[in-house]
Structure 1
Amino acid sequence: MRVPVILTPILATGAVSRSVSFLGQTPIGDQHQISNGNTLTSIDAPGDDVCPLPPKVAPPNDGLHSSLDFIQDASYRSKQVERLSRVVQVPSTSTELEDDPWSDYYAPFLDLHDELTKLFPLVHSYAKVEKVNRFGLAYTFNGTNSALKPALFMAHQDVVPIDDPNDWTYPPFSGHYDGQWLWGRGSSDCKNTLIGVLSAVEDLLKQGWAPTRTLVLSFGYDEESKGWKGAGCLAEHLEKRYGKDSFEFIIDEGGMGIQTIGDKIYAMAGVGEKGALDIHISLSIDGGHSSIPPPHTGIGIISEIIYHLEREQLFTPKLDLSHPSRQGLTCQAKHSADFVEPWLWPALESSDYTGLAEALAASRGDRVRFLYQTSQAADLINGGVKINALPEKINATVNYRVAIHENTDIVRARAINIITPIAKAHGLTFSAFGAGDKPQPNNHLDISDYALPLEPAPISPTSPSDAVWTRMSGVTRQFFESLPESGNKTVLVVGDVMTGNTDTRFYWNLTRNIWRFSPIRPDGTKNIHTVDERIDMAVHLEGLAFYYELIRAFDTYED
């Protein structure tokens, strides 16, 4: 493992920790004496110009009630339990196996739309409501000042399918509320966002609010299965109407939520996403009786390929100056020095960007590693039809999440380099991504893109000099510092990169300000995408209140 020289003695002694708080280590002081061979190097602690706090943005004097009412008034909780429970009860699942939105599979979305119309009568009375590609929903509330770019709030209506409902404590589509948690598929991914945004707008309209800035809501219906039918068509629809770079900002689900480090709270918005590539490996080979096998069956050859993919030319993590994670790490070194690695600030000052990434991964674990490194996972494999018949058709699919310092061509080239000698050793003809040997009926190996590839997303600005980011940060800081649960802690808003992908992948042309941010405190949701998914209703109410504040704060704002 290559690391900065200043980190070598720290890693060698095992002083790094996998704990989130990294307590028990020597804290950063005003000066750091780092052993560098026989030389001591003095590195200053972060200065006053590092990670400045944005000014808090107070709620406007618009005569509307406080956002804290949503959290403190029991009637709002009851209303939100009813709304979220009713939409969770609709089994609006999506799957890659069904591409036709007019098929019976998507019939539950008709029920979902009926529920939304009943639950949000003012929204459906005041908005221009459009259905795009049958089930995509676009709500437009035209503002009085056309010079202001519209704001766009996103969510998705679909949820992942259920395996065995008997595994659940409560039926997965019951929307059961136990007094704290609301249980069910989609309760936290992301019908909570859908209901939170619609509830914020419904409440604003109830108070007589009329927008100055145009507000658009865009809700896809197949985010869990790549998003092409829903968000893909909605984004095209909006770009055709408004043009490129036409929105002030877009906010969608995602990010790393709200995290507490020591006496500070970090609101972590995803301002970028890794790319995605699925490589499909297909082998056609001579069959026969299992009693007279070749040295390597087709399954053995595919296994050999996967073995070498997982061991050769491994991807390298990198945390260079352009990576969004540096902002949050810099703020931690400045504002949470007693609770992070004592070597963090000196390491950030190093020019060994790979060593820095390796050190942080060793300290904080694989969740952090794959913010900086391309991931590889062999997820699908199949072959063979009978126990005494040699397999003739064997397939495997490997998923890659492409780090922002790389691209899909790099991943493809690596696969070709590793697999080519294996194909040659087994006497196979070989084709890769449309090039190479002509495909043959037997003894042929082919690798191809399983689905359309996705390059890493453009990085949205997070500089203190960027007016839109600074205002969003000020709103977020003001709101979360006002919550009793925050305990008077200072809130810092930082950008980061997401390892997965959201529906925002289709909206890059509409604005440079894309924030993937679910305003959720730690442990506020549980078991996303698995058995017993649920959300703490107190956390859901905070999300609703945040959307309410964000809409108000940007309604009349001019850059």
Structure 2
Amino acid sequence: MLSSPTALSAAALGRAAAPKLARLLTYRTVSSRVPEEMEPDQFEAFIAALPELFPLVSAALQLERVNGFGLLYRWPGTASPEASPEAAAGDPADGRGPAVLMAHYDVVPVEDPSRWDYPPFAGTVTETSIEGRGALDDKGALAAVLEAAEQLLAEGFAPAGDIYFSFGNNEETAGDTAAAAAALLAERGIRPWLVLDEGGAVASGAFPFVSAPLAVVGVSEKGILDVELAVEDAGGHASTPNRMGATARLARAVVRLDRRPFPASLPDVSVEMVQRLSGSAPLPLRLVLGNAAHLRGALTRVFGLLGGEPNAMTRTTVAVTQLRGSKGSNVLATRATANANIRVAVGETVASTVSRLRSIIRDPQVSLRVVEGNEPSPVSATDNAQFALLEDTIRTCFPDAVPVPYIMLGGTDARRFTSICDAVYRFAPFRMSAADRASIHADNERLGIETFGEGIAFYKALMGAL
């Protein structure tokens, strides 16, 4: 059993590695679905900086470029055959296969740099934090993985089984690099024993009336679906409008979707989550949460009333995010469209979701077109050796936190690996307050220096146990 790192050692770890992460934050590796908005030289510069910042990793691990800017490192294990990356990795003597640690280094755009306390791409290090776009999502995790490996190599450590680092370059646009990396491993006959990507965190204030931080580990994630609603009409001059034109009919469909949410239920993973955190709740609530399996219906209704994240945990959600109509202020629309961004709950499918949309809208003149979609991810087990390893590592590095499984509401690159691994989990080993979580994709994204150090210690302990 590894000893728990002290706050001082975590702070020291973070302080020593902070300049490395700060350097990585200076590269504008912004993802966009519009190729002209990308800056390929910034991605190349980011990749070129890694050998300078992590020389032992660069010397000891094999690196392949995947799908252009994706990075796939292989750290050969002592129980695996020393061979080229094309060789299938052998299983270590204890029966474990290779492990894959994931992160991505692309970031979302900055809307207004003037609203930031520090320039978003300056990589500023303060007394307590590392400031910049990508610090939490997700360059912090990438830097923590590489720094942990750098320190282990300096200590002479070698893993028993192969460890892969898969670093994506287009996660923010739901790109295909992670899928290409998974396909590459599949072609080589490599089936990982464990895959760990971003997702949950050591979250404070994440559940009402529970004071202890929760180490939420994603065991699945909702499907992501974009559906275009469209209405065609004859159009004409705005001075002579007809009743129920394209925009009015579309608006009625949008209102119907808003007024009739999908049915709610509390999935088994959420029941287990509630039961696990019950021990940290005050006594009256502890009895309720501890009996979540028997009070599923009542808890489902309570979660729905709480709104926000608790409500989203219970159902498929629909958010109309884009509306388009006429191009002229005095012209009736001949075509009006809306984009519905939908997060498909575990247990539902893309097909069943579209079918329910049609039944809610109840208008054959509103056409539905699936723009892009993927099914919810399979649910990884919580009673296996892989989850037990994550729990043990969490308890070692975050002794005050309660490890709990949950279903991620957002999407990650990890879903691309579920076809080659049955044990895919989503957990970023960083403490995050509600304010920290709110800064992701928003202004003033930052990672605390001590928090960064705790993340390095986590990855170091996890890799040391593989």
The AA in structure 1 aligned to 2:369 is S
3-state SS of paired residue (1:448): strand
Alignment partners' CA distance in 2, 1:74 and 1:418 = 53
Structure-to-structure mapping, 1:248-397, within 5 angstroms: 248-259=193-204, 264-312=212-260, 314-320=261-267, 323-334=268-279, 336-338=281-283, 340=285, 342-350=287-295, 353-362=296-305, 364-397=306-339
1:530 and 2:446 are equivalent in the alignment: no
Give the direction of change, closer, same or farther, for the CA distance of 1:522–1:185 in structure 2 (3 Å limit).
closer
1:544 Cα deviation (Å)?
0.8
1:256 Cα deviation (Å)?
4.5
Alignment partners' CA distance in 2, 1:413 and 1:184 = 43
Q: Is the 8 A contact 1:142 1:215 kept in 2?
A: yes
Q: Is the 8 A contact 1:332 1:340 kept in 2?
A: no
The AA in structure 1 aligned to 2:44 is L
Deviations for 1:135-174, whole angstroms, at most 9, x for unmatched residues?
A: 0000001112132211110000100011121222211101
In the other structure, the counterpart of 1:198 is 146
Alignment partners' CA distance in 2, 1:315 and 1:418 = 9
Structure-to-structure mapping, 1:5-44, within 5 angstroms: none
In the other structure, the counterpart of 2:406 is 496
Structure 1: unaligned runs, 5 residues or longer: 1-57, 60-65, 429-444, 555-559
The AA in structure 2 aligned to 1:223 is E
Task: Compare CA radii of gyration and give the structure with the larger one.
Answer: 1
Give the direction of change, closer, same or farther, for the CA distance of 1:347–1:194 in structure 2 (3 Å limit).
closer
Structure-to-structure mapping, 1:126-205, within 5 angstroms: 126-145=60-79, 146-148=90-92, 149-205=97-153
Give the direction of change, closer, same or farther, for the CA distance of 1:510–1:373 in structure 2 (3 Å limit).
same
1:264 Cα deviation (Å)?
4.8
In the other structure, the counterpart of 1:402 is 344
In the other structure, the counterpart of 1:448 is 369
Alignment partners' CA distance in 2, 1:168 and 1:502 = 26
1:525 Cα deviation (Å)?
3.0
Alignment partners' CA distance in 2, 1:169 and 1:339 = 43
1:287 Cα deviation (Å)?
2.1
The AA in structure 1 aligned to 2:273 is G
Deviations for 1:378-412, whole angstroms, at most 9, x for unmatched residues?
A: 00111111111112222110011111122222211
Deviations for 1:250-295, whole angstroms, at most 9, x for unmatched residues?
A: 1111114344776755321011111121111123321211111111
3-state SS of paired residue (1:518): strand
The AA in structure 2 aligned to 1:226 is A
Deviations for 1:513-541, whole angstroms, at most 9, x for unmatched residues?
A: 11101122242835110111111111111
**How many matched pairs?**
447
1:240 and 2:152 are equivalent in the alignment: no
1:125 Cα deviation (Å)?
1.0
The AA in structure 2 aligned to 1:238 is L
Alignment partners' CA distance in 2, 1:296 and 1:335 = 54
Alignment partners' CA distance in 2, 1:495 and 1:160 = 27
The AA in structure 2 aligned to 1:508 is T
Q: Is the 8 A contact 1:235 1:506 kept in 2?
A: yes
Give the direction of change, closer, same or farther, for the CA distance of 1:214–1:316 in structure 2 (3 Å limit).
same
The AA in structure 1 aligned to 2:244 is H
3-state SS of paired residue (1:539): helix
Task: Indicate which of 429, 432, 454 corresponds to 1:542.
Answer: 454
Alignment partners' CA distance in 1, 2:117 and 2:393 = 38
Alignment partners' CA distance in 1, 2:224 and 2:19 = 37
3-state SS of paired residue (2:185): helix
Structure 2: unaligned runs, 5 residues or longer: 80-89
Deviations for 1:456-492, whole angstroms, at most 9, x for unmatched residues?
A: 11111112xx2232232122212222xxxx4xxxx43
Structure-to-structure mapping, 1:77-92, within 5 angstroms: 77-92=14-29
Alignment partners' CA distance in 2, 1:373 and 1:247 = 31
- Name the stretch that deviates more: 137-146 or 276-285: 276-285
Q: Is the 8 A contact 1:283 1:394 kept in 2?
A: yes
Q: Is the 8 A contact 1:67 1:546 kept in 2?
A: no
Deviations for 1:89-141, whole angstroms, at most 9, x for unmatched residues?
A: 1010101223x9xx963331001101112111111111110001110000001
1:123 and 2:70 are equivalent in the alignment: no
Task: Indicate which of 381, 389, 394 corresponds to 1:476.
Answer: 394
Alignment partners' CA distance in 1, 2:291 and 2:73 = 49
- Name the stretch that deviates more: 159-168 or 125-134: 159-168
Alignment partners' CA distance in 2, 1:240 and 1:266 = 38
In the other structure, the counterpart of 2:363 is 422
Give the direction of change, closer, same or farther, for the CA distance of 1:73–1:268 in structure 2 (3 Å limit).
closer
Alignment partners' CA distance in 1, 2:385 and 2:300 = 30
Alignment partners' CA distance in 1, 2:415 and 2:200 = 14
Give the direction of change, closer, same or farther, for the CA distance of 1:500–1:263 in structure 2 (3 Å limit).
closer
1:552 Cα deviation (Å)?
0.5
Give the direction of change, closer, same or farther, for the CA distance of 1:181–1:469 in structure 2 (3 Å limit).
same
In the other structure, the counterpart of 2:86 is none
3-state SS of paired residue (1:193): helix
In the other structure, the counterpart of 1:10 is none
RMSD: 2.3
3-state SS of paired residue (1:551): helix
Deviations for 1:58-116, whole angstroms, at most 9, x for unmatched residues?
A: 12xxxxxx773895276643432111110111010101223x9xx96333100110111
In the other structure, the counterpart of 1:223 is 171
Q: Is the 8 A contact 1:71 1:545 kept in 2?
A: no
